[in-house]
Amino acid sequence: MTTTRLSTTRLERAFKDLEKGLATRTFTVSDAERVLQLSKRTVSLILKELTDQRTLVRIGRGTYSLSAKPTVVAEPSTLPPASRRLHKTLATEGIQFALSCLDVLGGFTHLALRRYPHFSWVARGSEDWAASTAEAAGFVPIREPTRSQLSMALELAGERDSIIIRKSSIYYGTTNGLATVERALVDLHFEVTRKRYPLDEAELLRVFYYTLTSVSTDFPKMLRYAGLRKLREEIMWILWQFRNRIEIPKTYLDRTTRPTEFIDGFPTLDEVISR
């Protein structure tokens, strides 16, 4: 079978047209079709070849970016030492789990957090197993805690590393026992807004901001997982608030979204960034 290849000149012209015609550097296939005014097949070939050349970055199904922001792949070797030890401990036992929240996003915090509770989802029915395994490795396991229970447990833990263990049957957006950046953001959002994690709303917004401006984000994956957690509208609301500071495809921006009771009263991003 012969593979159709486009000339270098044509690809360069298409890239310049995209740079000039797009409103943001992150765009969808529909945006590219509108700018280039070519057939769907030709646009598809252009996007594929520009991606192969690394001139574009594919950041999700049907979503691309002109920027060179890296795509983060969750790997145990990139974790902080305590998180890496916890990951190895749970993996060795064969427990189905996914480290999330600041275990994945700790590098995107504004505050220099010396200590924070680790966080892991585990398969339903394996909570006791995971807790005893973590405890044997020197961690203080805290199963399904409320905010007040967590505060008390953290005080009792002292200098020992603690881990929040929550059960789940949803493992979308995980790889190698780690949540993807997109899933970790949604998980952190839920834990903070439901008053179950020791982080305030301003820092939550900073984590979102520093993550979305630092790495390529798969918005479809983020919103799909948010939908599974019944958080899609809340995450869409956050993305709408970020629209003037972060390049987000219009497909994922909805001006009709309204804050729920859990995020009503959030500070604005401008207020947070100026602090």
116 and 106 Cβ atoms separated by less than 8 Å: yes
The structure's pTM equals: 0.79
pLDDT digits (tens, 9 = 90+) for 157-193: 888 899 999 999 999 999 999 999 999 999 999 999 9
pLDDT at 1: 41
Assign 229 a pLDDT band (cuts: 50, 70, 90): very high
Assign 4 a pLDDT band (cuts: 50, 70, 90): low
pLDDT digits (tens, 9 = 90+) for 115-167: 789 999 999 999 999 999 999 999 999 999 988 888 888 888 888 899 999 99
Q: Euclidean distance between the first and final Cα of the chain, in Å?
A: 59
Domain annotation for the chain: domains and CATH numbers: 8-65 (1.10.10.10), 76-274 (no CATH)
Residue 173: other Cβ atoms inside 10 A: 24
Burial class (CB in 10 A: 0-12, 13-18, 19+), 54: exposed
Task: Please determine, for residue 97, whether its predicted confidence score (pLDDT) is greater than 80.
Answer: yes
Q: Which residue, among 156, 157, 189, 182, has the nearest Cα to 63 in the 3D structure?
A: 182
- Coil, helix or strand at residue 35: helix
Task: Please determine, for residue 2, whether its predicted confidence score (pLDDT) is greater than 60.
Answer: no
pLDDT digits (tens, 9 = 90+) for 48-69: 888 877 778 777 778 888 866 7
